[in-house]
Amino acid sequence: MNTTHLIGVFDSKSELLSGIEGVKNKNFTIDEIYTPYPVMEAIDALGRKSRFSTAAFIYGAAAVVGVLSFLYWTSVIDWPINYGGKPTNAFPSFIIITLVLTILTVTILSLFTFSVRARIYPGKKPFLPDERATDDKFIILFDKNTAGAGFEAISSALKASGASEVYEKEF
């Protein structure tokens, strides 16, 4: 079912930030913010946090154990080869393969995690309230059901803090 949304359009990052402050001071709840480039202050304002580095560390640790175990299994258990009496468990020469494959594993799994968490995948239809957000506008979106106040109050707060345009849209 479609809901009415209020869209506040800003022309620059500094105006967007004063806009966020303006509506937050009045305890209105922002649904989402769309920006043409990453604005950390906007991400913080919505209280969003990412555990990406923790996930990457887990992938890395698992990859190190996995690759070393694989090398040990192939070289020592499955098919040991005698290279002039050298030890089959040649740990120093396993280091490079472990390092490179760990980086590769972390990269691939991080990309998948990104795709899953940010819901970004090939062929997805974009849900963009205002197409100018990927060009030059900074957009604040309010949902009628969750905004915490009437659209008129929010609209005047947005305009007071520098929004160049405020309009309603149903989607």
Partner 1 sequence: MYKAEVRGPLILGNKDYHQITSDIIAPIDNKTPGWWKAAMGVSSIMAVIGIFSMVYTVRYGLGVWGVNNSVAWGWEIINFVWWIGIGHAGTAFSIFLLILRQKWRTSINRAAEAMTVFAVGCAAVFPAIHMGRVWLAFFIFPYPNTRGPLWVNFNSPLFWDFIAISAYLLISASFWYFGMVPDFASIRDRAKTKLKKGIYGFLSFGWTGSTKEWLRYEGLSYVLGGIAAVLVVSVHSIVSTDFASSVVPGWHTTLFPPYFVVGAIFSGFAMVMTLMIIIRKYYHLEDYVTDSHLNAIAKILVFISLIMGTAYTTEVFIAWYSGNPYEMFTFFHNRITGDYTFMFWAMIICNAIIPQVMWSKKVRSNITALFIISLIINVGMWYERFNIVITSLSKDYLPSAWTTYSPTLIEVGIFIGTIGLFTAGVLSFFRFLPMIAISEVKSVLKPTEITEKH
Shortest reach from residue 129's CB to partner 1, in Å: 8
Among 107, 145, 146, 156, binds partner 1 (CB under 8 A): 107
Contact 35, 134 (CB under 8 A): no
Q: 100 or 160, CB closer to partner 1? A: 100
Could you tell me how far CA 109 lies from the centroid of its own chain?
A: 14
For partner 1, the binding residues in 62-101 under the rule CB under 8 A are 71, 74-75, 78-79, 81, 83, 90, 93-94, 96-97, 99-101
Q: How many helices (H) and strands (E) does the chain have?
A: 5, 4
Which residues contact residue 20 at a Cβ distance below 8 angstroms, ignoring those fewer than 6 apart? 30, 33, 41, 42, 45, 140
Beta bridge partners of 169: 5
Q: Which stretch binds partner 1 (CB under 8 A): 1-9, 52-60, 142-150, 153-161?
A: 52-60
CA pair distance 82, 60, nearest whole angstrom: 31
Q: State the minimum distance, in angstroms, from the CB of residue 120 to partner 1.
A: 4
Residue 126 as a binder of partner 1 (CB under 8 A): the answer is: yes
β pairing state of 138-143 and 32-34: antiparallel
Q: Report residue 9 as tokens.
A: 């359009």
Instruction: Return the structure tokens found at 28.
Output: 């209105």
Amino acid identity of residue 10, one-letter, is F
Give 133 or 158: the residue with its C-beta nearer to partner 1: 133
Number of residues that bind partner 1 (CB under 8 A): 66
Binding residues for partner 1, per CB under 8 A?
A: 11-14, 32-40, 42-43, 46, 48-50, 52-53, 56, 60, 71, 74-75, 78-79, 81, 83, 90, 93-94, 96-97, 99-101, 103-104, 106-108, 110-111, 113-115, 117-128, 131-136
